[in-house]
A = this chain, B = another copy of it.
Amino acid sequence: MDVSGTSKNCEAKRSIRVAVDAFGGDLAPAEPVRGACEAAGCYSDTTVILVGRGDDIKRELDALGDVPTNIELVEATEVVGMHEAAVTALRSKKDSSIAVGARLVKEGRADAFLSAGNTGAMVAAGTLFLGMIPGVLRPGIAVPVTAIDHPVVIIDVGANINCKPLHMVQYGVMASVFANEVMEMQNPRVGLLNVGEEERKGAQLQKKAFDMLQDAPINFVGNVEAHDIFFGGCDIVLCEGFTGNVLLKTCESLVQKLLEFLEGEIKRSIRRQLGFALCKDVFKAARRVGDYAEYGGAVLLGVDGVIIISHGRSDAKAVKNAVREARSTLKLNVNEDITEAIKGVEKSVDVSLNGSSGAE
C-alpha cells in the first residue's frame, strides 16, 4: 500500500498542487480550463496543473488571454470516454488524463486530482493508483448536495455496489470527518437510509449496519427515509452505492424535469409569463437541488489521496469550486483525521457482525 499520499498532504511548507483533468466532463476542455484559471487567480498559494492534450489546452488558454502564473500543464494524450468500462479503459489508455492525473498524486507531483469525467474510471484510478487509507476496506463517493434549503452529504453514490455492513460504518465515520471539517457541520447527524424509520427495517445489510452503527464513534440518529433528507432529519445519509446512485440521480432528474415542465407551461399564456416574471427569483433555489456545482464535487473518501469527482456537466464555476474543495480537504488534513477516526471503529464496534465474507 502506498501511504505517500497521506504524508504529502501535511507538508504545509510548499504550495498546494491541485491537478485538474482538462478533458473531463461534457464541457471539456473549455470549462475545466477556464475554471482552473479562475481558481488559480483566486488562490495564490495553489498551483493548478491542467492535465490533457497540450495543444488543445494551450488553445483554450490563449483564448482566455491573461493566464495566471500558477497554472501548469502536464501532457496526457488520451481521454477516457464518459461511458467506457472503467477498469478496461484505465488499463488500455495508460496515457489518459484520468490515469496521468491520478499518477501525479501517487508520485507526489500533485496533492489532489479532480475530474468531471468518467466516475467509474476516477474510482478505479483512485483505488488502484493511490491505494486505501490504512484500515479502510472500500472507498465511498460522498456527495454534498443541497436539499432545497440546506446541505446534506450522501455516501455512497456508486463506488461500491457490493456493500457490507462494516463498509457502511466506515462510510459513516469518514463522512462525519469530511462533513465536520469541510462542510463545517457540527457533530453531523448520520442517518441510515432505510424503508422505514423503525428498528429492524431493511435487508440484512441495513439490519447489521444499524446494530454496528449504534456503537460507532459517530452521531448516529438511526434509520432515515427521504422525508428526513429534505426536512432536516439528518446531515449525512448512509446508503449502499446502488441506492445512493438512484437517490442522487432521481433528485437531479426530477428537479430538471419539473423546471422544464413549468417553463413549457408558463410560455403558453401571457398572463402566466407576466406572473412568472414577478416571482421567478423564487425558483432559482430549486435549480440547486442535486446540483453539486456549489460544493465543487463528490469526494472519493477512503483512498490515500484527495480525489474529487465533479459532475459531468461541470462548468467553470463548478471546477473552480472543486479546486476550493480540494484545497480545504488538504488544508484541513481530512485524510489524516480519517486515518485516526477509522482506528476507533474496531475498538467500538462488534466487527464480527459484518460476517466472514465482508471483513477481508
Can you name the residue of chain B whose Cβ is closest to the Cβ of A200?
A: B85
Bound-state CA distance A91–B200 (Å) is 18
Query: Given the known A-B contacts A226-B253, A253-B229, A289-B254, are A161 and B261 also in contact in the complex, defined by CB atoms under 8 Å?
Result: no
Instruction: Please give, as numbers and ranges, the residues of chain B lying within 8 Å of A271 by CB-CB distance.
Output: 278-279
Instruction: Please give, as numbers and ranges, the residues of chain B lying within 8 Å of A247 by CB-CB distance.
Output: 246-247, 250
A149 close to B (CB within 8 Å): yes
CB-based contact B286/A278 at 8 Å:
no
A12 close to B (CB within 8 Å): no
A1 close to B (CB within 8 Å): no
Interface size on A, residues (CB 8 A): 60
Residues facing B in A190-239 (CB within 8 A) are 193, 195-198, 200, 202-203, 206, 225-227, 229-231, 239
Can you name the residue of chain B whose Cβ is closest to the Cβ of A273?
A: B279
| SS class, residues of chain A in contact with chain B | helix
Bound-state CA distance A243–B242 (Å) is 8
Residues facing B in A120-157 (CB within 8 A) are 147-149
CB-based contact B265/A285 at 8 Å:
yes
Query: Given the known A-B contacts A242-B203, A282-B262, A282-B266, are A230 and B249 also in contact in the complex, defined by CB atoms under 8 Å?
Result: no
Which of these, B258, B272, B274, contacts A255 with CB under 8 Å? B258
Contact with B along A83-119 (1 / 0, CB 8 A): 1010000000000000000000000000000000000
Bound-state CA distance A166–B181 (Å) is 45
User: Which 9 pairs across A and B sit closest by C-beta, in order of nearness?
Assistant: A275-B278, A275-B279, A230-B257, A226-B249, A226-B253, A272-B279, A226-B250, A265-B282, A195-B245
Interface residues of chain A, those whose CB is within 8 Å of chain B, are 83, 85, 147-149, 158, 161-162, 193, 195-198, 200, 202-203, 206, 225-227, 229-231, 239, 241-243, 245-247, 249-258, 261-262, 265-266, 271-283, 285-286, 289
Can you give 5 A-B contacts (C-beta < 8 A)? A149-B261, A203-B242, A225-B253, A226-B254, A275-B276
